[in-house]
Structure 1
Amino acid sequence: MIIRYSIGKSGQVLVLEQNVVDHFANWRQSDPKMPESGGQLFGVVEGQCVKLMRATGPRVSDRRGRFFFIADRFAERREISALHMSGLHYLGDWHTHPQAVPAPSGTDISSMADLFVRSKHDLNAFLMVIVGTAGFPKGLHVSLHEANAWSALNVERET
């Protein structure tokens, strides 16, 4: 399944490629004993299409529990460098929530704003995907985050 999201009124479209959707499905917290998982999102911008082509994580060095995920930021920096050399750009982060239809917490929102401000990049916003336990696309929260604002994206279609 490939899922497409409209990016506001920009005319751009975010495309979650099959391997990324599969990665999210593999890590969703379907069992009550599963800890949260997460990682980074990488892709390319081709005209009006933002292609999400790779999701990384979780890593052994991340700290994980049923209701928290703390990424190994040093490992993430290494991923960004390595994947950039292969032509993929860092676009944002993903993590799971143990709820059917996920919604960002206050911590999620403030963390993404802080990450956006502290990072060196040329992006208008960072992408955040939260993976819930429901089937996709209902079980995905997809949003864009800037320094002082964020907005959820709406599914355009799935194929």
Structure 2
Amino acid sequence: MHFAFRVVPHIHPSTMRSGRQSFALGLIVAVLICFTTAKPVPKCNTLLNFRTYFQLLLGDASIVPCMTASGLSTIIGSSDSEASQEQVAKFFDSVDCRALYNAMRVNFRDSVPDCTIDSFGTSIKQYGSLEFDQIRAVYEQAMPGRSVAPIHRR
């Protein structure tokens, strides 16, 4: 399907649709374009050897201090096990985990093929585009009553 758009510099008022009709038409066209050009993105857990992409992080100097500080035994997202609320809170309280997350972002951006990480269709590339403090803010919103202490950077 191919769509062609033309810019019309002046439209006579008698030929204009109402704002609601124009919006609805524009929305329908946008949805059609998305459906005709969108390429399905596979789920990360279905990619062959997906976990091997996390092995690049094993040499990072911040991994052991982060794991110790947070109580995690695996990198979040690299296994099927889920971190507890307490472990996630400790992760966000750690300067070393901030450094590890930044290394993960580079890995997601440069090495991991695009795939979805959850049932909402969140792309790992989208996730990797978020900074530590943005992810931290999402966590604070998702866990009412939990305020993560500010991290003092070294």
TM-score, normalised on structure 2? Answer: 0.25
Question: 1 or 2, which has the higher strand percentage?
Answer: 1
Question: 1 or 2, which has the higher helix percentage?
Answer: 2
Which structure: larger Rg? 2
TM-score, normalised on structure 1? Answer: 0.25
